[in-house]
Amino acid sequence: MKAIKSSNPYFRNIRSAITVDRQIKGTAHTATGIIMTNSSGHVFDWHATLSTDNPMLFRSLLDWKADKGATTYEEFSGGN
């Protein structure tokens, strides 16, 4: 939470980080949810790629729960 309270503009709109859980086809799964100050949520799923540098990103908590609309961090950031 220290980074969230920092003056870094990249973190100013983050309210909290949480764990989020789902079960799809009998497999339980946990990822990291980011809740923004406007109450939107995004999910970073490192388990899906098994890569700490390239997690799957989901636009919303509902998309993550439904397993739809994911992109890798690499695709999202343009490969940078």
Which of the four pLDDT bands, split at 50, 70 and 90, describes residue 63? Answer: very high
DSSP string, 15-76: EEEEEEEEEETTEEEEEEEEEETTS-EEEEEHHHHT-TTS-EEESSHHHHHHT-S-EEHHHH
Indicate whether 79 pLDDT > 60. no
Indicate whether 42 pLDDT > 70. yes
Indicate whether 31 pLDDT > 90. yes
Supply the pTM of this predicted model.
0.76
Average pLDDT over residues 20-42: 90
